[in-house]
Amino acid sequence: MADNLRMNSLDGIRILDLSRVLAGPWCTQTLADLGADVIKIERPEAGDDTRGWGPPFLKDAQGQDTRDAAYYLGTNRNKRSVTCDIASPQGQALIRELVKTCDVFIENFKVGDMARYGLDYASLSQINPRLVYCSVTGFGQTGPYRERAGYDYAIQGIGGLMSITGERDDLGGGPQKVGVAVADLFTGMYATVAILAALRHTEKTGQGQHIDMALLDTQVAMLANLGANYLVSGQKEGKVPGRAGNAHQNIVPYQVFEVAPAANGQKDHIILAVGNDGQYVKFCAVANCPELATDERFAKNANRVRHRDVLVPMLAKIMLTRSKADWLSALEAAKVPCGAINNLAEVFADPHVRSREMVTTWDHPASGPVDLVSSPMKLSATPVRRDLPPPLLGEHTHDVLRDLLHMDDQAIAKLRAQHII
């Protein structure tokens, strides 16, 4: 556990988190890791949808399933959980009172829902002019799609990612989503950056602002070099980037290659990621094909890209001549970027992953010790927090209402009896 005497980067920042599922919670988990006090508002009795997105579920001390799925645990560490029925006038009043004590408000409801509850930016900024208010939706607060519900899978399709992911169409490929919800995750990270920038602005001016984050905007931004390829050249020449399988659109050789079979006879593969011409020369030396380094068709990356259909089959034959271990050892010694293709068991057993402490053991109130993926952020002076395991539903309701709103036990009990909390 983190040393409680050491400060965190966002000590003193309080966030009221009305977001659910992934994009918003991923953002607030990152901010919580950095030290912010994140108060997660959840529906009484039900909670965040992802609590039920299992199996697998967290097991209690007797080995029985709890009500919290692993999905929920992976996105909600270092937060406090408060239950509140925001559809009720009393619940809305509680939120408004809490807003007075907070620096940031984040929500991912459909466009217009917060206004119906009187919890939109226009309303809450009257209560707290310094408030940084972040809305996360599928399509944003404006535009013809603004009222549509937005889900990562659909956004990967609409935003072009599935048209450039997967095996080449001429090799039997077709639309393919990425293995994790990258549109949600990237939106969460962009929202984190935007909130930190807005907090800096508030610090200088005393004024809050509204942040409008959309999954589709983020997905389009994530097209990165392929988006640039199309805008700079493709739209003029009628060339639309497509699926390249495990190859890179702009660098060669930069892809998966099959190598000699494993000891059990199964196919084996490695990633070869030659990023520049110097690395290509080194690769050719390791592969005992120096003539390919001096061939004018392949000496420069631009030419290798133009002649990939000639070069890659030649390299594929060479790669089949040696085992995975042999290739990895020789290429790593020559400083040629390469890598194995690990399954998740191999990832978490990897000695480097373990040495980087990418698994943290938490003392969970329902189960005792539970291993979860760690934050990747490693700050020398203000390390990330490791003090609050993902909370039980409503675990901190009483403490928050007592400490922040100065409510007594009787008032809290009355709200509970009315199912407001």
- Compute the half-sphere exposure of residue 40: CA atoms within 13 Å on the CB side of its CA: 32
What DSSP element (H or E) covers 318?
Answer: helix 308-319
User: 3-state DSSP: the chain helix, strand, coil percent, rounded to 5?
Assistant: 40, 15, 45
Spatial separation of the C-alpha atoms in residues 292 and 314, rounded to whole Å: 9
Whether omega before 55 lies within 30 degrees of 0, making that bond cis, reads yes
Q: Which two tokens stand for residue 57?
A: 């579920």
Spatial separation of the C-alpha atoms in residues 104 and 134, rounded to whole Å: 8
217 has catalytic annotation:
no
What secondary structure letter does DSSP report for 233?
I
* Short-list 327, 367, 381, CA closest to 58: 367
Catalytic annotation, pick one of 184, 295, 371, 387: 184
Q: Which two tokens stand for residue 323?
A: 């085992």
Spatial separation of the C-alpha atoms in residues 381 and 358, rounded to whole Å: 19
What is the DSSP code string of 112-156? THHHHTT-SHHHHHHH-TT-EEEEEESS-SSSTTTTS---HHHHH
Catalytic residue numbers read 184
